[in-house]
Structure 1
Amino acid sequence: MGSLAIKKVFSLLINFVLFSQLVFSLEVPAVSSNSSKEATALLTWKNSLQNESQSHSSSWTSVSSSTLNLSRNPCNNWLGISCNLAGSVVKIDLGNSSLQGTLHGFSFSSLPNLAYIDLYMNTLFETIPPQISYMSKLEHLDLSFNQFSGKIPPQIGSLSKLKYLDLSCNQFSGKIPQEIGKLTNLEVLHLAYNNLNSSIPEEIGRLNFLTELLLHRNHIDGSIPSSLGNLTNLVNLLLSDNELSGFVPSEMGNLSNLDLLFIHRNCLIGPIPPTFGNLKKLISLSMFANSFSGPIPLEIGNLNSLMQLSLLQNNLSGSIPPSLGDLANLTLLHLNNNNLSGSIPTEIGKLTSLISLQLNENQLHGYLPTSFANLSNLVNLTLHDNQLTGPIPQGIGNLLNLAFLRVDTNQFIGNLPQNICHGLSLRYFVASNNHLDGRIPKSFKNCTSIVRVFLGDLK
């Protein structure tokens, strides 16, 4: 072999060795002193848990190897742990991992690069330590569906990079700390299903990137702060099942990206703001079980994306606006248990996507629109306890999907529709306490679907 050939072979061998070393260094980083410190911190917390041997963290063990130098490396096959290229822990993902214990043995200061913590659906309890403020790089924190209690520590406001915060479904009490208003990068804030009280801090209105604000199922009182109108990126706003009072601020009409607005089961009063007509992307508007008064704003008819409108159990008055007939996507319209008067607008018959229509327990009068025969998808129709008169339109019998029909305690006259049970879907029919006459339609003989029927004096 000539000298040139020898040099080429030698060069190839050198390159192969260098390449092998490069690949090895990428796949198996050397363990730094920081990595060892982080491993110790995680093992210390693991050992503080009540059932650590049965949980997913049981894979956290010290691995010894003099050849590969992998001793106490959390980046090596530790379930739920992810590291960066430098071998530092950046992610703990142990949701639904059967963990039982507290965070008091967790050394927050020993994990300086941690950006993601997900511990949802475990059995973690007691308080969140104030030392959580040491996690300056944290972007995602999910502690939902645990048994944490006590107050939400105000130190959580120091996590300036946080984008996702979910503390829902725990036993937190006390007030929502105003320091949360410092988390200006926050996109998701879930605090629902706790025992939080006091008012919603005005400072939440500073969270301009927020897309989800879920505070439902607490004991939050006071008024809805007008500063919430600044959160123009909000998609979901759920404030239901609290003790909120006072007027709904008109500024909420600025939330033009909302899909869901739930403020039901509170103590809210006053009119529904006409500015709600600006919420053009709204899919569901739920305001039932409050003390709203005054008329239903005509502007509600501008909400072309609306699929569910629930205003029942309030003190609303005036007539049903015909503009509601423009809500072509509506599947649920519940206006029952109010003080609405006047006649039912014929435009309601344009809502051919309706599945449930409840207008009962108002002061409605006049004839039932014949346009109701167009509501072919209707399953639930309740009109009882009003002052409706005239005949029940024959076209009601063409609603083949109708399963629940109540028209009792009105002033209807004449005969029942002959084909009232034509669709064989009807299960519950009440028409008593009216002025109906004639005989029970023959179609009832074949109506095997009916479970309950109350027809008053009909024979």
Structure 2
Amino acid sequence: MACSVHNHHTTSWLFALVALLFAETLAHRSNALWTNRNSSTPGVGGGSSSLQVPARRCRPEHAAALLQLKRSSFTFIESSTGGCLYDNTTLSSWIEGTDCCRWESVACDRISGSVTGLDLSFRSGGINGSGLHPALFSLTSLKHLVLDGNYFCGTQLPASGFERLTRLEDLSLQFCNISGAIPPSFADLHSLKTISLALNNFSGSTFPLWITRLKRLKVLDFHGMGLSGTIPSSLKNLSRLEFIDLSKNELHGNIPLSDGNVLRNLRSIDMSGNSFTGEIQASIFTQPALKYLDLSFNCLSGHIEEFQNPSATLRYICLSNNKFTGAIPTSFSQLRALTDLQLDSNNFAGTLDLYPYLMLRNLSSITASNNPFLSVSADDRGESTNNTSITELYFASCSLARVPSVLKYLPRLYYLDLSNNSIHGNIPNWILRNMSSLHLHHNLFTKVGQFPAYTFIDDLDLSFNKLGGLVPFPFMAWELDYSNNKFSSITPLDFLRMVRVTPSIKLANNKLSGRIPYMECHQDYNLTILDLSGNNFSGSVPPYLLKGCGNALEAVNLRDNNLNGTWPDEMGESCYLVVIDLHGNQIQGRLPRSLASCIFLQELDIGGNKFVDVFPSWLGNNPILRLLILRSNKFYGPLSIPDGKKNHVVATGYFSGIQIMDLAENSFNGVLPTGLFDAFKAMRMVWVDYLLDSGLLERDAYFSGLPYSASVDVAMKQQYMRNINVPTDLAVIDLSDNRFSGSIPKAIGNLVDLHALNLSHNAFSGNIPAEFGRLSNVESLDLSWNHLTGSIPPAMASLTSLEVLNLSYNDLSGSIPSGRQFSTFPSSSFQGGNQGLYGCPLPVRCNLTRPPSGASAPAPPALATATNQSFEAVILWLFVGSGYGVGIAVSIVLQMTCCGRHMNNALEKIASCIA
């Protein structure tokens, strides 16, 4: 488990620690100044002294500087055009003629009346505008300056001016939308104890060398700034440093702080999210003050040696996502203050003995997942191993062959992940007690018992095992995943009870049969995701799954069963369905027209059924419908555009969000409407850009947390590709095996984001549109088995992404374009009909100067004939993300050549990741 995504149970104290460390140097002094502005100056009649010195009024020149600063400061108002607008209405107490020492956000010295503190952070009204006004630098007595959370609209800090603030001890400019370079004038601030420029855009800037000249520095916070380069070894000379955060930058090289002799005062180190290399010295774990250490998400490597005199203060260690090798030091188990140990996603080897860690009474979490050469063991010493502090253990992908029995002596173990191992046999009954999250997926378990009475579990994942028999249901749950097992039966009453209380139930790819338990529509159940795909359910679909019913259901997947009947005509008025997958059943009838009321619908797959209907043009009004699969049904008629939209398809957004449209293997006919493809806006740009351009981003984000993906087959020709994490701009059109006629619309050439186009096995005539030369992203193009004439457009030779081309069985003539991708296509891309074509790669002479006599191409054969062609399947998994967290696994049939450029690139990337 990566440190950056660790759950809130282990990080709540972490935020408190970081806040404490930062506050001790900033807030301890600053807060006292702006909350007790009338108290005595330290050393001159302090709070416990009987001598009180009257507070002096603010110095006039300082008041004038502050008023000038106010006049130049603005409160940010978001512009509808995305620009920066400002409103000068903040800092209402800053009134000319009044004592500025009593103004909000201002602190003064009681003796001199000089302004010593200024907090203009977002918590105090703010100073938003186009940059810092020079008046700020006339306040030369400033010791504390906090400008966090302001909005400087991407401007740079002034190159000069800060050098005048020589008394400055605390400087904080976090999250101010500053860009450019870090001013070199900061080097003259020799009194600085705290500096934070975090969460600004200093991309292109290297780590500033002048930092090492600030000998009094205690807090250095440069996280999330885009810094590059290396850290100078002289950084270790900052002997007073207590807190350093350089996380989420682009730094590389060695970490100079691994020399234990210079870390005597360091309490927190965060170098995560960079590209640091090399080894770390084990002495870093012996420092007397260190509490927090995060070196995750780097490229650190080598062995971590054992160490003597372990730190008595170190609580949190995160070394995740590096390249450490060798054994995990047993010395870690001697860190008595340790609460969290995160070692996942490395190359640690050997055996991790849990027993010594059970003796650490503060330890709450160990993460060692994704160390493929590591095993975990623990001696079962009975009640002596009882530990009441450990709540989380993560040992996924650790070559485990059994469940460590010592875990049953951890009464507060609530989060356990043993997934992706080789554990076989029965799931122990004790492991089902008290768990909040239990992940045992991708193992070899064969049996699981029933849950103890009144068991509640947030997240249970038993998928990809060999479990059979009756599906066990806890009393209550939040997420259940039992998919890809051998379960054969469910208790209807238990199933319906879970439907009412469990948001997510996944039972895909088991051996369940019979009818889906029936229940009428209710508005009082919590079911959001239901996946029963890949089973043998029969009968009709219960109404609560397809009618909307005003409930919370968002994704329903019933594909690849034996369901029949019809789709109920009436949908609920409040339909929240996002994903509907009924592919591969025997459902018949027509689509309910009330499905148009499901305004959040993004993916509809009803392929492989017996629907008899015309093209559902009424679905075109939904601007976020991304996927429409009607393949292999009995749809008929033309692809008509409603009368009211014929001349306004673009303006009215007719199917404007569609990205995958598969209408293959039906009985559609007629001429394709010229304007149909003009409206396919999402096929001309990236999905997020489409949402922004259409003003749909907020609507899209409504279901952004839906953690679900359904498998969808989009057949293209000869091969299937299943991929994971396809970009949301994937665009596919398949109109093959229908009866379309007439010319191919030129507007298809404007769909520049189209990746695959299949118009084969129709009756299209005329020329291949020259506009197809604009399809710069197309990878598969199949126009075979039509009546196309004329020559191949020369511009198609510039389609450098094109890997698969099939123009066979047409009546094309002329020279085949040469060069680039066309030199990689086999002769089968052109053979069959096309008697007038000549040139490579046809078997006729490549240097032929005149075309041979041609003959008409044969008529398209029946579909059954096409299925005789042999092919080889290439399967990869790919989720087509919808921008909502709702995705689909798309399987696209593409003809791939063994030396295809994209396939080679993909294999190289996979190999590099594995390495």
Question: Which secondary structure does the structure 1 equivalent of 2:430 belong to?
Answer: helix
Out of 304, 315, 329, the position equivalent to 2:336 is 304
Report the equivalent of 1:333.
366
Is residue 2:234 matched to residue 1:206?
A: no
Question: In structure 2, do the counterparts of structure 1 residues 421 and 74 end up closer, same or farther at CA, with 3 Å as the change threshold?
Answer: same
Q: Which string of whole-angstrom CA distances, capped at 9 and with x for unpartnered residues, describes residues 424-453 of structure 1? A: 32642406434x67x447xx3563436332
Aligned equivalents of 1:136, 1:445: Cα separation in 2: 68
Is residue 2:120 matched to residue 1:94?
A: yes
Deviation at 1:354, TM superposition (A): 2.5
Out of 485, 502, 505, the position equivalent to 1:456 is 485
Is residue 2:190 matched to residue 1:160?
A: yes
Deviation at 1:420, TM superposition (A): 5.7
Letter paired with 1:336:
S
Aligned equivalents of 2:120, 2:387: Cα separation in 1: 47
Question: Which secondary structure does the structure 2 equivalent of 1:387 belong to?
Answer: coil
Aligned equivalents of 1:171, 1:359: Cα separation in 2: 37
Q: Which string of whole-angstrom CA distances, capped at 9 and with x for unpartnered residues, describes residues 208-255 of structure 1? A: 222111111111111111466312211111111112122123342343
Report the equivalent of 1:255.
287
Question: In structure 2, do the counterparts of structure 1 residues 370 and 81 end up closer, same or farther at CA, with 3 Å as the change threshold?
Answer: closer
Deviation at 1:313, TM superposition (A): 0.9
Aligned equivalents of 1:60, 1:180: Cα separation in 2: 35
Aligned equivalents of 1:189, 1:26: Cα separation in 2: 37
Provide the TM-score with structure 1 as the length reference. 0.81
Question: In structure 2, do the counterparts of structure 1 residues 328 and 454 end up closer, same or farther at CA, with 3 Å as the change threshold?
Answer: farther
Report the equivalent of 1:370.
405
Aligned equivalents of 2:439, 2:290: Cα separation in 1: 34
Aligned equivalents of 1:392, 1:446: Cα separation in 2: 15
Letter paired with 2:400:
L
Aligned equivalents of 1:242, 1:289: Cα separation in 2: 11
Is residue 2:357 matched to residue 1:324?
A: yes
Aligned equivalents of 1:426, 1:253: Cα separation in 2: 35
Question: In structure 2, do the counterparts of structure 1 residues 381 and 227 end up closer, same or farther at CA, with 3 Å as the change threshold?
Answer: closer
Question: Which secondary structure does the structure 2 equivalent of 1:333 belong to?
Answer: strand
Question: In structure 2, do the counterparts of structure 1 residues 215 and 234 end up closer, same or farther at CA, with 3 Å as the change threshold?
Answer: same
Aligned equivalents of 2:424, 2:278: Cα separation in 1: 38
Answer whether contact 2:320 2:343 (CA < 8 A) is retained: yes
Is residue 2:370 matched to residue 1:344?
A: no
Please say which of residues 123-132 and 99-108 is displaced more in the overlay.
99-108
Report the equivalent of 1:113.
141
Answer whether contact 2:222 2:246 (CA < 8 A) is retained: yes
Report the equivalent of 2:418.
383
Aligned equivalents of 2:309, 2:484: Cα separation in 1: 41
Report the equivalent of 1:244.
276
Question: In structure 2, do the counterparts of structure 1 residues 302 and 347 end up closer, same or farther at CA, with 3 Å as the change threshold?
Answer: farther
Please say which of residues 417-426 and 237-246 is displaced more in the overlay.
417-426
CA RMSD of aligned residues (A): 2.9
Answer whether contact 1:184 1:208 (CA < 8 A) is retained: yes
Question: Which secondary structure does the structure 2 equivalent of 1:220 belong to?
Answer: strand
Answer whether contact 1:336 1:360 (CA < 8 A) is retained: yes
Report the equivalent of 2:105.
80
Question: Which secondary structure does the structure 2 equivalent of 1:150 belong to?
Answer: coil
Please say which of residues 50-59 and 225-234 is displaced more in the overlay.
50-59
Letter paired with 1:37:
E
Q: Which string of whole-angstrom CA distances, capped at 9 and with x for unpartnered residues, describes residues 308-365 of structure 1? A: 1111111111111343333332222111111244452236964442222211112223
Question: In structure 2, do the counterparts of structure 1 residues 379 and 49 end up closer, same or farther at CA, with 3 Å as the change threshold?
Answer: same
Answer whether contact 1:55 1:99 (CA < 8 A) is retained: no
Is residue 2:161 matched to residue 1:138?
A: no
Question: In structure 2, do the counterparts of structure 1 residues 225 and 421 end up closer, same or farther at CA, with 3 Å as the change threshold?
Answer: farther
Structure 2 matches for 1:51-70, cutoff 5 A? 51=75, 54-63=88-97
Question: Which secondary structure does the structure 2 equivalent of 1:148 belong to?
Answer: coil
Deviation at 1:302, TM superposition (A): 0.7
Question: Which secondary structure does the structure 1 equivalent of 2:103 belong to?
Answer: coil
Is residue 2:435 matched to residue 1:407?
A: no
Provide the TM-score with structure 2 as the length reference. 0.42
Count of aligned positions: 414
Deviation at 1:306, TM superposition (A): 1.4
Aligned equivalents of 2:421, 2:452: Cα separation in 1: 21
Q: Which structure's CA Rg is the greater one?
A: 2
- Percentage of identical aligned residues: 26
Aligned equivalents of 1:292, 1:248: Cα separation in 2: 10
Letter paired with 2:106:
I
Question: In structure 2, do the counterparts of structure 1 residues 228 and 160 end up closer, same or farther at CA, with 3 Å as the change threshold?
Answer: farther
Answer whether contact 1:325 1:347 (CA < 8 A) is retained: no
Report the equivalent of 1:39.
63
Report the equivalent of 1:184.
215
Answer whether contact 2:292 2:315 (CA < 8 A) is retained: yes
Report the equivalent of 1:148.
178
Question: Which secondary structure does the structure 2 equivalent of 1:42 belong to?
Answer: helix
Report the equivalent of 2:391.
355
Aligned equivalents of 2:347, 2:309: Cα separation in 1: 20
Please say which of residues 246-255 and 51-60 is displaced more in the overlay.
51-60
Question: In structure 2, do the counterparts of structure 1 residues 137 and 390 end up closer, same or farther at CA, with 3 Å as the change threshold?
Answer: same
Deviation at 1:40, TM superposition (A): 3.3
Report the equivalent of 1:12.
none
Question: In structure 2, do the counterparts of structure 1 residues 276 and 403 end up closer, same or farther at CA, with 3 Å as the change threshold?
Answer: farther
Letter paired with 2:410:
L
Aligned equivalents of 1:276, 1:357: Cα separation in 2: 26
Out of 151, 168, 175, the position equivalent to 1:123 is 151
Question: In structure 2, do the counterparts of structure 1 residues 277 and 451 end up closer, same or farther at CA, with 3 Å as the change threshold?
Answer: farther
Aligned equivalents of 1:318, 1:293: Cα separation in 2: 10
Choose between structure 1 and 2 for higher RCO, CA contacts under 8 A separated by at least 6 residues: 1
Q: Which string of whole-angstrom CA distances, capped at 9 and with x for unpartnered residues, describes residues 11-33 of structure 1? A: xxxxxxxxxxxxxx94565x7xx
Question: In structure 2, do the counterparts of structure 1 residues 342 and 170 end up closer, same or farther at CA, with 3 Å as the change threshold?
Answer: closer
Aligned equivalents of 1:166, 1:159: Cα separation in 2: 13
Letter paired with 1:87:
G
